[in-house]
């Protein structure tokens, strides 16, 4: 019994992280936005990042999408540097070719859905499969239909984005990212631009995906109840650092740090949570 426990512990320690941020700093001009962030995400893990506006959550996610360059620090995906290439033991800035290869592991859904307005829903979900993954048209179509069915839009395949509600468009954006089979999906405030009555349907789709799919997820959200239900781990960020992290119960029921307690109290006072 003891030896089994010890094995499980050592397995956890040796398990390779899917994503590793190491001592990440980011400044915009003179303003330091991220101040030495260390964060690991394990394969399949669902991690929610919460925290006050301006604490650096989106910047952290954008770095994983190679949209924002760290001022210092490193990020690895599957043990391989994202922003650098290792040549003869030296780290040099990554080439566009390296970025393209690495981006294949990462999917992202933003507040803005950015669907192609001139394409049908089905074409929107097929496009990157054909252009980026070089899938055959028939396979891309079959997979797009399967994914659009999963997000409840099997009756809208031939519709255009302009004819869908915001919630439906966001579900297309989710299907479009999912169909690429990334190892990690980033969801950055995906309901922030939606009318309140449309928020529930999008969160429900994400909840179902989290249950069914074994990809890792990094969710930035102000929806605390949603974060509590969906995440294996909650990270509370403030002023560019990770202040506290733990299971949903640890963070929401027994927060330890003054900043976390204050944030959650303010949050409860302004909502039904
Ligand atoms: N390109 C940029 N140039 C200058 N400042 C920026 C840039 N991008 C972000 N910032 C600033 O960095 C800070 C952190 O922004 P970020 O969007 O990462 O925070 P956040 O925690 O995601 O906030 P929110 O919850 O409001 O989305 C903010 O003060 C923002 O104004």
pLDDT tens sequence for the chain (273 residues): 333 443 434 444 446 899 999 999 999 999 999 999 999 999 999 999 999 999 999 999 999 999 999 999 999 999 999 999 988 888 899 999 999 999 999 999 988 888 999 999 999 999 999 998 899 999 999 999 999 999 999 999 999 999 999 999 999 999 999 999 999 999 999 888 888 888 888 899 999 998 888 899 999 999 898 999 999 999 999 999 999 999 999 999 999 999 999 999 988 777 655
Alpha carbon separation from 228 to 59, 224, 235 (Å, rounded): 22, 6, 11
Residue 137 forms part of a structural domain: yes
Ligand 1 near 67 CB (within 6 A): no
Asked if residue 90 is part of any domain, the answer here is no
Q: How far is the CA of 54 from the centre of ligand 1 (A)?
A: 5
| 64, part of any domain | no
Pocket test for ligand 1, best of 34, 37, 51, 54 (most atoms within 8 A of CB): 54
For residue 182, report the distance from its CA to the centre of ligand 1, in Å. 25
Measured between alpha carbons, how far is 252 from 248 in angstroms, rounded to an integer?
A: 6
ipTM value of the model?
A: 0.95
| C-alpha–C-alpha distance, residues 153 and 156, integer Å | 5
Q: Tell me how many domains the chain contains.
A: 1
Q: In b/e form, how buried is each residue of 179-214, taking b as 16+ CB within 10 angstroms?
A: bbebbbbbbbbbbeebeeebbebbbebbeebbeebe
Is residue 14 included in any domain, yes or no? no
Say if 244 falls within a structural domain: no
| 91 lies in some domain | no
- Determine, yes or no, domain membership for 167: yes
Residue 82 lies in a domain: no
Output the pTM of the full model: 0.88
The answer to whether 24 and 57 have CB atoms below 8 angstroms apart is no
- Indicate the SS3 state at residue 257: coil
- Domain span holding position 122: 112-181
Looking at residue 116, its pLDDT comes to 95
């Amino acid at each position: 019994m003891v030896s089994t426990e010890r094995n499980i512990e050592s397995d956890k320690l040796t398990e390779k992280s899917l994503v590793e941020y190491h001592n990440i700093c980011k400044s915009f001009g003179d303003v330091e936005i991220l101040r030495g962030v260390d964060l690991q995400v394990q394969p399949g893990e669902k991690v929610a990042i919460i925290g006050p506006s301006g604490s650096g959550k989106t910047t952290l996610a954008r770095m994983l999408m190679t949209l924002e360059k760290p001022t210092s620090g490193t990020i690895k995906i599957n043990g391989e540097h994202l922003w650098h290439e290792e040549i003869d033991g030296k780290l040099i800035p990554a080439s566009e070719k390296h970025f393209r290869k690495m981006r294949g592991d990462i999917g992202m859904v933003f507040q803005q859905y950015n669907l192609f307005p001139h394409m049908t829903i089905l074409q929107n979900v097929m496009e990157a499969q054909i252009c980026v993954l070089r899938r055959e048209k028939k396979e891309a179509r079959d997979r797009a239909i399967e994914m659009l069915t999963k997000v409840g839009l099997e009756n809208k395949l031939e519709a255009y984005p302009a004819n869908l509600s915001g919630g439906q468009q966001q579900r297309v954006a989710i299907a479009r990212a999912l169909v690429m089979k990334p190892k990690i999906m980033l969801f950055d405030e995906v309901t922030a631009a939606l009318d309140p009555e449309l928020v529930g349907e999008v969160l429900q789709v994400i909840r179902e995906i989290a249950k069914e799919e074994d990809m890792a997820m990094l969710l930035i959200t102000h929806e605390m109840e949603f974060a509590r239900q969906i995440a294996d781990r909650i990270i509370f960020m403030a002023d560019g650092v990770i202040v506290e992290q733990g299971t949903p119960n640890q963070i929401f029921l027994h927060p330890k740090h003054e900043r976390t307690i204050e944030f959650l109290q303010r949050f409860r006072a302004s909502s039904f949570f």
